């Protein structure tokens, strides 16, 4: 992995750059003493259980339904999409549910699940997230019709807080298999916990992912430089960061990045707004705005050297894709859009593991450079509280009507 900032230098004030750089030791120290920094030293004692339960699920089920949202969903979904072939669906299928309250989706999902043998992994650190709780409850109803309570025990896996919460209590009472999301790791930093490693064990080599992740954690210096560059660009009025990939199956990885940076930085009226585009598709829509619109944006491009080969009539698709990427970077940079380029030879669980922990470090450093706590999400908690109050009123009134 290499980071090319050649197209950014002219936008950066060197005095400011040096001022931020001088904060390095202070910021490293803040992260060292942070109580939510468990992701720096992931506890991987769950691996044997992950493989054991995965093998059982593969034997007794045709698919795994993963119920979770936000930090309990995006990491596994991102890597599942990235490492599952576009058309040859030869990997064990995973259905990600619980990411909306669409009644049409729920109805169709439940009807579908009536027709297949499946296992269910519910993932929620708090155990109280509305979408997750309702979806879990609905799917369990389908299971109750199909399976005995003994069989349900073999098919329900609960991933939640190690001690507290309703899910932990239920899993203990019912005897379900459980995994932990450690208390010192927040949802969006939980990629190397069972919340993601268990679903990912069905579709990629998680040991390689772990190896790469550990490599990425050694890239503190580069992660800090990336955070400093972003901070300097913000000072120049570049309030939006556009993450750009040239491969459709990166869609959810970019969504994962948006959560990581959006939730880590966007507080106290501060932060860079993360957005994402998949090229070349989005060049034909938002491309106009990036090139020629309000100059509030900078971009982080992902550039991958190798790809599956497809040459038709002497035209190599990957070469042309790279040619377009280089041309776009040149055009955008000339249009006053600073472009950072992150280059990698290939996309493997190892390189993505490395990239992911690099971004964890950057998001943390970036939060500190904005003088905010990168590990909480008070904004999410505000709306969750409002929803919870209104939901309780709704439940109370529907119970009254039933009576
Ligand atoms: O990053 C976060 O903290 C959030 O996105 C949460 O992961 C999300 O709200 C789901 O929470 P929980 O795992 O408690 O259901």
Question: In tens digits, what is the pLDDT along the chain, a chain of 403 residues?
Answer: 999 999 999 999 999 999 999 999 999 999 999 999 999 999 999 999 999 999 999 999 999 999 999 999 999 999 999 999 999 766 799 999 999 999 999 999 999 999 999 999 999 999 999 999 999 999 999 999 999 999 999 999 999 999 998 999 999 999 999 999 999 999 999 999 999 999 999 999 999 999 999 999 999 999 999 999 999 999 999 999 999 999 999 999 999 999 999 999 999 999 999 999 999 999 999 999 999 999 999 999 999 999 999 999 999 999 999 999 999 999 999 999 999 999 999 999 999 999 999 999 999 999 999 999 999 999 988 998 999 999 999 999 887 777 6
Distance from Cα 70 to the centre of ligand 1, integer Å: 5
Residue 196 in contact with ligand 1 by CB distance below 6 A = no
Longest dimension (CA), the chain: 73
Residue 70 in contact with ligand 1 by CB distance below 6 A = yes
- Token pair 């280089």 is found at 326
Distance from Cα 188 to the centre of ligand 1, integer Å: 7
- Helix (H) / strand (E) containing 109: helix 103-113
- Token pair 């939640």 is found at 160
Q: How many CA atoms lie within 13 A of 388 on its CB side?
A: 9
First to last CA, the chain: 63
Distance from Cα 93 to the centre of ligand 1, integer Å: 24
Q: Ligand 1 test: best mutation among 39, 99, 127, 129, most atoms within 8 Å of CB?
A: 129
Decide: 298 and 337 in contact? Cβ < 8 Å. Answer: yes
Nearest CA to ligand 1 atom 5: 70
Q: Which ligand 1 atom is at minimum distance from the Cα of 73? A: 7
Decide: 54 and 108 in contact? Cβ < 8 Å. Answer: no
CA 15, CA 266: separation in Å to the nearest integer? Answer: 25
Q: Ligand 1 test: best mutation among 71, 101, 382, most atoms within 8 Å of CB?
A: 71
CA 290, CA 283: separation in Å to the nearest integer? Answer: 9
Q: Which ligand 1 atom is at minimum distance from the Cα of 69? A: 10
Which of 263, 299, 325, 354 is flagged as catalytic? 263
- Token pair 């955070």 is found at 227
Answer yes or no: pTM beyond 0.85. yes
Count other Cβ atoms within 10 Å, centred on residue 240.
17
3-state secondary structure of 65: strand
């Amino acid at each position: 992995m290499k980071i090319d900032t050649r197209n950014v230098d002219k936008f950066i004030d060197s005095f400011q750059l040096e001022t931020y750089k001088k904060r390095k030791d202070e910021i490293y120290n803040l992260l060292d003493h942070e109580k939510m920094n468990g992701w720096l030293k992931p506890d991987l004692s769950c691996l044997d259980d992950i493989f054991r339960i995965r093998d059982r699920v593969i034997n007794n089920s045709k698919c795994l339904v993963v119920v979770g949202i936000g930090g309990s969903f995006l990491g596994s979904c991102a890597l599942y999409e990235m490492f599952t072939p576009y058309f040859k669906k030869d990997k064990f299928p995973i259905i990600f549910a619980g990411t909306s309250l669409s009644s049409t989706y729920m109805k169709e999902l439940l009807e579908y699940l009536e027709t297949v043998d499946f296992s269910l992994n519910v993932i929620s650190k708090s155990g109280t997230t509305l979408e997750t709780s309702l979806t879990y409850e609905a799917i369990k109803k389908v299971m109750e019709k199909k399976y005995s309570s003994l069989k349900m025990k073999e098919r329900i896996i609960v991933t939640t807080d190690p001690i507290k919460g309703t899910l932990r209590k239920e899993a203990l009472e019912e005897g379900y298999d459980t995994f932990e999301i450690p208390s010192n790791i927040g949802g969006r930093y939980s990629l190397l916990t069972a919340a993601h490693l268990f679903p990912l064990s069905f579709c990629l080599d998680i040991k390689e992912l772990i190896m790469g992740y550990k490599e990425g954690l050694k890239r503190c210096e580069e992660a800090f430089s990336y955070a400093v560059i972003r901070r300097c660009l913000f000072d120049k009025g570049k309030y939006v960061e556009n993450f750009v990939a040239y491969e459709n199956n990166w869609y959810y990885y970019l969504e994962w990045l948006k959560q990581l940076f959006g939730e880590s930085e966007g507080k106290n009226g501060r932060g860079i707004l993360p957005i994402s585009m998949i090229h070349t598709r989005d060049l034909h829509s938002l491309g106009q705005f990036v090139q020629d619109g309000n100059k509030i944006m900078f971009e982080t491009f992902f550039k991958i050297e190798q790809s599956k080969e497809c040459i038709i009539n002497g035209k190599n698709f990957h070469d042309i894709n790279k040619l377009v990427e280089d041309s776009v970077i040149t055009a955008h940079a000339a249009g006053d859009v600073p472009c950072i380029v992150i280059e990698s030879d290939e996309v493997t669980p190892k390189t993505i593991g490395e990239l992911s922990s690099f971004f964890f470090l950057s998001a943390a450093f970036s939060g500190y450079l904005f003088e905010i706590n990168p590990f909480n999400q008070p904004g999410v908690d505000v709306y969750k509280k409002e929803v919870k109050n209104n939901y309780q009123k709704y439940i109370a009134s529907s119970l009254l009507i039933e009576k």
